[in-house]
Structure 1
C-alpha cells in the first residue's frame, strides 16, 4: 500500500468538515505569516493511532492490532530550492535542517530537527530522492494520551517526501520503517514499529513482527459505527513521564526468558516451553518475568482472535478479546502502575470506574505503553454521554475524548 491522495471530504466526517476546512485555511494563514508569503502549495495529513491489542509484544517480535484515529497533524507545504527543510509547527520554534547534512547530532536528541534529519537519512540510504521544502504544521492529536503524536509527525514528513520527490511511489510500510529509524537512531527513543505503521497505513491494521525488517501488515476493513460503538480515550490525570526504566524492564525480562532457551526472542518459542519449564524459570528469573512471557504468547493469540472476529462480523468476539487483553496487561504484564509508587494508581481507578459505567457492555483496557494513566474504551453510542460524565466527574473536564477510527493513513489532501 502506498500513501494516498485524498479529497478532504474523504478523511473527515460531515459534521466536522467545515471546521476542518477552516483549520486548513488557518494553517495557510499561519504559513504566510511565518514565512512572509505563500505561493503554490500542497496539503498533507497524518493521523494519530491507538493500540488495541499486542501490549508490549513487538520488541519480542510478536503480533499487534492497532488503528489510526480521527485526530491528525496537517501541513501546508511549499517547495524550496535552498537545500533546507524548514518547518514551523504551531506553538513550537522553527526547525531548519540541511538536506546535505545528515549526520546524527547529539545536541538534537529528542527534538523535531532530529526526526526530520533522521527521515532524510532514512530515505537517502534506501535510495530515494530527497529535497527541500517549507512547511507549517498544526496538530489536533491530544498530548499525554499515547496517541502517537511523534509517530504522526514522522509519518507526515515521510508522506511529504514521498509525494513531493518520489511521485508517491514509496510504500506506507517503508515510510513507517524510515520513521522508526529516525526515532531510534536520531531522536534517541527506542520505540517499536506499531505506532508508525498504524499512522502510515490507516484504518484497522494487524501487524506480525516475526521478521522485524519485513513485518506482515494486513488491513482489516471494519467500521466502528456499523456496530454502534465509539472509541474513547481517557486521560486519568498523569502526565507522560519518564518510565523508560519500567518499559526497558518489560523487554529485558521477556528477553531473559528467551535467552534461557538460547533464542533471540520469545517468538521462537511456544507457550508450552514456558509451562513445561516454569519451575526453573521462576527460580532463575522470578515470577514477574514468567508472567510477562505468558502474556506475550496469549496476546499473540488474541490478535488472531480479534482479526478473525472482525473479518466475520463478530463484534462481541472483538470486544471479548479486547477485555481479555486489558485483563492480561493488568495481571500478567503488570504495566498499570509502578511498584515504586503503589499509593498512586490513577489508571486502576479509571478502569474500575469505566467497568462500572459500561455495565458489562463495551470494553476497556490500558492504552499504549501503560503506567502514565491513559485508558481505552469501546462504548455503545447510547451510553457515551453517561460514560463521559462519569469519567470526567473523577478525572476532570475534557479528560474523556470520544474518537473514531480513520480509514486513511498518511496522505496528501486535496480540497
Structure 2
C-alpha cells in the first residue's frame, strides 16, 4: 500500500484522544472561571455516513444513515457569568456572547448593524444555545464549552451535526431541560437552518442523536418515524470504506440552496406538498409540466426515495451484498440528474468499483466531501490503493481513506 493510501489502524485511539483534548482545552481556556477549572461533565455525538438517500430529507422523503465511530466531544460547565463561551481545538481563540444577545444575533436581526458577530465555526454551538432558548430553556447562568473532534470537516460526514448533537446534549443536561433525542435533533436542525443559514433537512441531526451500533436508521423525514435496520455487514464480511477527497464543501453556499429551490419548484408544479408525494410512475407527467433542469432534480429525488425503500427491503431480507447496484445507481443519479458530484468523487467511485467494491457512491450534500464503498473485507487495501493511484494519475491531492463502523448516538461520557 502506498503511503498516501495508508488507512487508520485498529484499535483506534482517536475517540479518547479527542475527549481528552476537550478536557484539556476546557482547563486551559476556562481555568479562571467562576466555578473552577474542571468541567461538570463530558458529552459526545457522532458524525454520520448516509448509506443512501441524498437530498431526500428536505423533500420529506426517506433516508438511511448510520452514526459512525468518529465523534465530536465537548467538556462543559455552567459559569455564572450570563455569557456563553466556546472554545475549539480547530480555532485559535474562543468566542463568546451574552446569552441575552443571542436573540439579536440569530436570525431576525440580519439587518441590525449593531448585532454582535462571531466567527463562522462558533455559530454552531451558539446557534444551539439560541434554539434552546426559543424552545423555552433558560440558560441565565451562562456556560463554558470546549470542543474537540475527529470527524473530518467538510468531508460530507456531518461534522456540523456532531457539534450540534454534542452541544445540545450537554446543555440539555446542564440546564435540566429534559428534552428527548428527537427534540434535540430538531434543536440542532433549527440552529443549522436559521443560525448558520444552511438549508439542510433533519437527517444528520437524527443520525447523531439516534445512532445504534451495527445498525442504520430508516427515517421517514415527514413523520420523523425512525426504525432501526440491522445492516449485517460484519456477518457478510463487508465494510464501508470512506474515500475523503479532501475537497471541502459547505451547505450554506449557493449550489445547495439552488437544488432545494428546484425541488420546491418541482413539487409546486406537480401540485403536491413535497416531492415525497411524487412516485416514479408520475415522472412521465412531470416531463410535461417542467423545464429540463427542474425535471432532472425531481427525477433524482423521486428515484432516490425508491432506492432507499429497495435498500431497506434487501437489508431486512438479510442480503446486504445486494445493495451494491443501488449505491451505484444513486451515484449516477447525483452525478447526472442532481449534478452535485465532482471529478474527484467520480474518480473515487470508479476506482473503488474497479478494485472490487460491490457498490460505491458519493455521500453527503455534494460539491466535494467523501465517497463510500461497500467493500468485501479482503478488498479494503486494494480499494485504498486504487483510489490513491487514480487520484495521483488525475493530478488530484491524495485522498484520505479509512473505514467506519456503525456506532451509537449522542451520549454523556462522564
> What band does the TM-score fall into relative to the shorter chain?
0.7 to 0.9
Q: In 2, Cα distance between the equivalents of 1:136 and 1:142? A: 18
- In structure 2, stretches of 5+ residues that fail to align are 1-8, 111-115
Match of 1:341 in 2: none
Match of 2:388 in 1: 392
Q: 1:127 aligns with which of 136, 139, 148?
A: 136
More off after superposition, 241-250 vs 401-410: 241-250
Q: In 1, Cα distance between the equivalents of 2:252 and 2:97? A: 30
Structure 2 contact 351–383 (Cα < 8 Å) conserved: no
Q: In 1, Cα distance between the equivalents of 2:157 and 2:369? A: 13
The Cα offsets for residues 229-285 of structure 1, whole Å up to 9 and x where unpaired, read as 22222133533268833323322333232222333322233333321453x23xx41
Structure 2 contact 83–143 (Cα < 8 Å) conserved: yes
- What SS class does the counterpart of residue 337 from structure 2 fall into? helix
Q: How many residue pairs end up in the alignment? A: 384
- Identify if the C-alpha distance between structure 1 residues 97 and 156 changes in structure 2 by more than 3 Å, giving closer, same or farther: farther
Match of 2:353 in 1: 355
Structure 1 contact 230–402 (Cα < 8 Å) conserved: no
Q: 1:16 aligns with which of 3, 12, 15?
A: 12
The Cα offsets for residues 197-248 of structure 1, whole Å up to 9 and x where unpaired, read as 111211311111234xxx2222223353333222222133533268833323
The 5 A counterparts of 1:150-189 are 150-166=160-176, 169-189=178-198
Q: TM-score, normalised by structure 2?
A: 0.84
Structure 1 contact 391–400 (Cα < 8 Å) conserved: no
- What SS class does the counterpart of residue 141 from structure 1 fall into? coil
Q: In 2, Cα distance between the equivalents of 1:79 and 1:250? A: 41
Match of 2:3 in 1: none
- In structure 1, stretches of 5+ residues that fail to align are 1-12, 338-344
1:41 Cα deviation (Å)?
A: 2.9
Match of 2:291 in 1: 285
- Identify if the C-alpha distance between structure 1 residues 355 and 406 changes in structure 2 by more than 3 Å, giving closer, same or farther: closer
Q: TM-score, normalised by structure 1?
A: 0.84
Is 1:32 the counterpart of 2:19? The answer is: no
Match of 1:8 in 2: none
Structure 2 contact 26–39 (Cα < 8 Å) conserved: no
Match of 1:96 in 2: 96
Structure 1 contact 53–65 (Cα < 8 Å) conserved: yes
What RMSD in Å do the two structures reach over aligned CA positions?
2.6
- What SS class does the counterpart of residue 289 from structure 1 fall into? helix
Match of 2:57 in 1: 58
Match of 1:268 in 2: 277
1:356 Cα deviation (Å)?
A: 0.9
Q: 1:336 aligns with which of 334, 341, 351?
A: 341
Structure 1 contact 109–188 (Cα < 8 Å) conserved: no
Q: In 2, Cα distance between the equivalents of 1:35 and 1:109? A: 19
- What SS class does the counterpart of residue 172 from structure 2 fall into? helix
Match of 2:153 in 1: 143
1:292 Cα deviation (Å)?
A: 2.5
